[in-house]
C-alpha cells in the first residue's frame, strides 16, 4: 500500500505537471529575463471590487503567522520583493471580501498608512489579466473541469501577486525564493478556506493563483520559460520525495485513514505551473527558431503563474474500482483531461488560438509580435 500511494501521487503530479508546496528552495544560477507583452484593459479604480475601501496596506512588521486567520477573509494578497533586502522591506496589501475582515485588519494598522491602501497598479493589472485568462480563455474552451465552478462561486478564487523590481538586476533565485515562500502561505490558506469557518468554500471550486509580476508596467521582464520550468521541476522532485517518505510509513488503507488528520499540508494540495511562453516541445535547442503548437496554449498565461488546488478534488474523479491499479487511478483522470484539451486546441489551431488569446487575454506592446 505504501508504494501504491507513493506511485499514485507521483503519477498524479507528473501527468499534471504539478507539485506541492514546500518552504525552502536551493540556490541556483542566475537566469535570463525576457520581455513580454503589456496587458490590455487598464484598471478602473472606480470599480467597487478594486476600491481603496477593500484594500489594506500591511507593513512588514505586522506580517506574522497570526495573519493567517485574517487571510481567510481576503481574496487577494500582494507582496513586494525588494532587490536589496527582501526580508526587511517586504510589504503587503490585502483585499478583504467582508466588513468583519476589514475591521480586523484596520485594528492592526496605523490609520496614517491608509494613503498606501491601494497596491501598485501593476498588481491590479496582474489580477485582472489572470481573471480574464480564466474567464475568457480557460472557461469557454473547457480546459479545466472546475473553472466554471470557481468563477461562479464568491470568494473561491484567491490571487497572490509577487511583485519584483525589474529595473534592478536581481538573481532569479531571489525571485523564486519569494515565490516559494508565498506558495507555502497560499497553500495553507487554500486548505483553510476549503475546510474551516461557518461557510467554507467548496473544495472543488477553491483555487489560488500565485502570480509573478514586475513593478515596472513599461518593462514586463520575467524569468524566461526555461528558468521558470527548471525551478518548477526542481521543486517538484523534492516535494514528491517528501510525500513519498510520508506515504512509505503506511502499510494499508486503514493506516492512512487513521492518520488522515496528520497528513502534511504539502501532501494535501496540488500545484501546476503556467508561463507566457510555455512550450511542451523543448527539444529544439536552436533559440533562433521559434515555434508554437496549439497544445502550448493549455499552459500559457499573461504572467508566470502557479495554481493551487486541493488534491482531494482530483482524487474524487478516480474510479474506485480502478484505484488499486497504478494505471487506473490518477493517470486515467489526467490523461482524459489532457486528451480532451489537446483535441479542443488542435481543432482550433494555432492561428485562431493566437488571435483569441491576443484579443481576450493580452495585447502586444508596440513593435512586439505575439508568438
- Sequence spans of domains, the chain: 2-360
Q: Among candidates 168, 68, 53, which has minimal Cα distance to 118? A: 53
Cβ neighbourhood burial of 107 (10 Å; 0-12, 13-18, 19+): exposed
The confidence score (pLDDT) of residue 333 equals 72
What is the C-alpha to C-alpha distance for residues 74 and 100, in angstroms, rounded to an integer? 11
Residue 321 pLDDT: 57
CA gap 217, 223 in Å, rounded: 16
Residue pair 232/19 in contact by the 8 Å Cβ criterion: yes
pLDDT tens string, the chain, 371 residues long: the values are 333 333 434 443 433 443 333 322 333 333 444 544 434 443 333 343 455 568 888 776 565 555 667 788 889 999 887 655 544 456 788 898 888 888 877 777 665 555 567 888 889 989 999 999 999 999 999 999 999 999 999 999 999 999 887 766 556 777 888 888 888 888 888 988 887 666 789 999 999 999 999 887 666 677 889 988 998 888 778 777 878 888 787 765 555 555 666 777 778 888 899 999 999 986 654 444 457 899 999 999 999 999 999 988 877 776 555 555 545 455 677 788 889 999 999 999 999 999 999 999 974 443 445 44
pLDDT tens string 164-181: 877 665 567 778 888 888
Pairing of strands 92-96, 74-81: antiparallel
Return the closest-CA partner of residue 334 out of 321, 320, 318. Answer: 318
pLDDT at position 242? 79
Helices 2-15 and 330-348 pack at an angle, to 10 degrees, of 10
CB 285 within 8 A of CB 41: no
Helices (H) then strands (E): counts for the chain: 12, 10
Identify the pLDDT of residue 211.
Answer: 95
How confident is the model at residue 66, as a pLDDT?
A: 56
Amino acid at each position: 500500500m505504501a508504494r501504491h500511494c507513493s506511485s499514485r501521487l507521483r503519477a498524479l503530479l507528473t501527468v499534471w505537471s504539478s507539485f506541492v508546496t514546500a518552504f525552502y528552495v536551493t540556490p541556483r544560477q542566475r537566469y535570463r529575463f525576457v520581455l513580454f507583452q503589456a496587458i490590455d484593459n487598464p484598471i478602473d479604480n472606480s470599480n467597487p471590487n478594486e476600491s481603496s475601501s477593500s484594500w489594506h496596506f500591511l507593513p512588514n512588521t505586522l506580517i506574522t503567522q497570526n495573519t493567517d486567520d485574517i487571510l481567510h477573509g481576503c481574496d487577494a494578497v500582494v507582496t513586494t520583493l525588494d532587490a536589496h533586502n527582501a526580508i526587511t522591506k517586504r510589504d503587503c496589501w490585502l483585499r478583504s471580501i467582508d466588513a468583519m475582515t476589514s475591521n480586523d485588519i484596520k485594528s492592526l494598522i496605523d490609520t496614517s498608512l491608509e494613503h498606501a491602501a491601494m497596491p501598485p497598479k501593476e498588481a491590479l493589472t496582474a489580477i485582472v489579466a489572470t481573471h480574464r485568462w480564466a474567464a475568457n480563455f480557460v472557461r469557454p474552451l473547457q480546459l479545466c473541469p472546475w473553472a466554471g465552478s470557481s468563477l461562479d462561486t464568491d470568494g473561491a478564487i484567491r490571487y497572490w501577486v509577487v511583485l519584483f523590481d525589474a529595473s534592478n538586476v536581481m538573481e532569479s533565485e531571489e525571485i523564486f525564493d519569494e515565490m516559494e515562500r508565498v506558495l507555502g502561505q497560499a497553500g495553507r490558506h487554500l486548505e483553510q478556506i476549503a475546510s474551516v469557518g461557518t461557510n467554507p468554500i467548496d473544495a472543488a471550486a477553491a483555487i489560488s493563483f500565485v502570480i509573478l509580476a514586475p513593478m515596472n508596467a513599461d518593462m514586463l521582464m520575467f524569468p524566461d520559460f526555461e528558468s521558470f520550468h527548471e525551478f518548477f521541476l526542481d521543486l517538484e522532485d523534492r516535494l514528491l520525495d517528501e510525500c513519498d517518505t510520508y506515504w512509505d510509513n503506511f502499510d494499508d488503507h486503514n493506516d492512512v485513514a487513521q492518520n488522515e488528520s496528520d497528513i502534511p499540508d504539502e501532501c494535501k494540495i496540488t500545484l501546476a505551473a503556467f508561463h507566457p511562453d510555455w512550450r511542451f516541445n523543448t527539444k529544439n535547442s536552436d533559440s533562433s527558431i521559434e515555434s508554437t503548437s496549439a497544445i502550448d496554449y493549455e499552459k500559457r498565461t499573461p504572467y508566470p503563474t502557479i495554481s493551487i488546488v486541493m488534491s482531494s478534488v482530483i482524487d474524487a474523479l478516480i474510479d474506485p474500482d480502478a484505484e488499486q491499479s497504478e494505471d487506473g487511478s490518477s493517470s486515467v483522470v489526467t490523461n482524459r483531461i489532457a486528451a480532451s484539451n489537446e483535441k479542443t486546441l488542435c481543432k482550433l489551431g494555432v492561428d485562431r488560438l493566437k488571435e483569441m488569446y491576443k484579443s481576450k487575454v493580452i495585447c502586444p506592446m508596440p513593435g512586439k509580435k505575439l508568438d
